[in-house]
Amino acid sequence: MNGKLLTWSVSPAARMRKKMALLVAVLALVAATVGLPGTAAHASAQPHASSLPALTIPVVAPFTGVDAALGPKYAVACLAATQEINRVGGVLGHQMNCKTVDTRGDPADAVPAVGQMYATTKNIAFVIGCTSDEASTVVPVFGSNKTVSFCMTGESEFDAVKFPYFFRLVPPDAADAVAMVAIAKNKGYKKIALAFGNDAGSQTFVAPAEAAIAKAGHMTIVSNQTLDIAATTFQSEAQAIVSAKPQVILMEALGAAGVALLSEVYQLNGKKMIPVIGTSAMIDPTFFSGMVKAVGTQNFIKNFNADNVIATGNTPAYPLFAKLVMAQSGKVNGVGNYSTLLQATGTVHLYDAINIAALAMVMSGSTSGAVFKNDILAITAGAPGAKVVTSYAAGVAALKAHKKIKYLGVGGTYHFDAYHTAFGAFEDARYTASGSSYNAGTLSPALLNSLKAF
């Protein structure tokens, strides 16, 4: 088995409901056996809702390997969303569980891991996760099994090919790269260094960034480094960057690689940090703590920006989301400061995705992806006069009252295009001294369109 599988149980409240259901079942059996007054041993009855099998949401993502920081963020989203769903009765009488499927961030390892998932997991509701590292190999497998998937991939192959069961919650990497260049342009940088990992997910940013820089005018790439993200030192790459004297480094190198490179650049540059613009994946507690240790808190936060799809705490859905995320503290290995997840793209959007899919099941009256997938589009688009809902509980209540609904999540509204990609405006994200992030400025659509070369 190439994938590491870990399964979390349902919440304490759900376990208590199961215990109560078991107690009721035992008492009923005893009553029927001894003929207690008021019982009818031969009477037929519908099964109690809690006797329905639980539904499982596999979190398919890297939990080991160089991109191991991604999986835990997604797992927290699953635990947070299902805790609330189970609290209000589950989906059509089914409780929901989360199960991690470790792809190791490798497209070859991901396929047998997903195969093992299907072989050992009953009642799969839908899948979340699947990053740019492995999406190209696993999304077709999900589709062939008629499994709805919500992925965090920006790979260009999904830009114009429709996979009916696939939904993308982040922009194409091409748009992400343009946003990085837009931040650099806003800051007046002209001499640019590129430093991206050699993994598939990071390399997809390079060509779009090069194209946007060329289109921007008055910008020059003075160094372009491909980083072996399995390496522990980057002396030659760091020296090449320092010697080129860039005003800013555009980069994505996850895990320890990013910290190692920038630490060496810092030392070789006379202990002066060259400003860095990263991707949203670098809004990460491990990266933050490593950089703070290497260059100091204030030095780091003053010199680091990242592009990010806007996900603020200003939506009505945010307070419940924040409460549920913080309630998972200590439950997932690989997450340090849980407050950093409150603005993390993966945690925010996958939490929303789970609520949307669960509501689509209720709306369609079915747990089959072939049936409920079209209701995902109905709930996110919203029909005229639809009631806006910001939680699963509110959505279920409205559906029971025979009302149409439109979901407004922590990440705002989701407008899926013809290829099932949904993304909104970008922000220039910055770190605070505590490691959380904030919107330092929205990137205007006019600026982004002026740099777009796709």
End-to-end C-alpha distance for the chain, whole angstroms: 40
Q: Are 196 and 166 in contact (CB under 8 A)?
A: no
CA distance 317 to 398: 16
CA distance 248 to 223: 11
The owner of tokens 């650049």 is: 265
Looking at 3.40.50.2300, 2.40.160.40, 2.40.50.140, 1.10.606.20, the CATH number of the domain 173-306 comes to: 3.40.50.2300
> Per-residue confidence of the chain (454 residues) as pLDDT tens digits?
333 333 333 333 433 333 333 333 333 322 332 232 222 222 222 334 457 999 999 999 999 998 898 999 999 999 999 999 999 999 999 999 999 999 999 999 999 999 999 999 999 999 999 998 999 999 999 999 999 999 999 887 898 889 999 999 887 888 889 999 999 999 999 999 999 999 888 998 999 999 999 999 899 999 999 999 889 999 999 999 999 999 999 999 987 899 999 999 999 999 999 999 999 888 888 899 999 999 999 999 999 999 987 765 678 999 999 999 999 999 999 898 898 888 788 899 999 999 999 999 999 999 999 999 999 999 999 989 999 999 999 999 999 999 999 999 998 888 888 999 887 778 899 999 998 888 888 887 778 878 877 6
Architecture, CATH, for domain 5-170:
3-Layer(aba) Sandwich (3.40)
User: Residue 161, SS3?
Assistant: coil
CA distance 189 to 250: 11
CA distance 350 to 152: 9
Would you mind telling me the total number of residues written for the chain in this entry?
Answer: 454
CA distance 241 to 249: 8
- Would you state the torsion angle of the CA atoms of residues 234, 196, 258, 286, taken in this order, to the nearest 10 degrees? -150
Distances (CA, A) of 349 to 217, 244, 356, 409, 435: 34, 38, 10, 8, 20
CA distance 49 to 17: 11
Helix (H) or strand (E) holding 443: strand 437-443
Give the residue range(s) of CATH 3.40.50.2300 domains in the chain: 5-170, 173-306
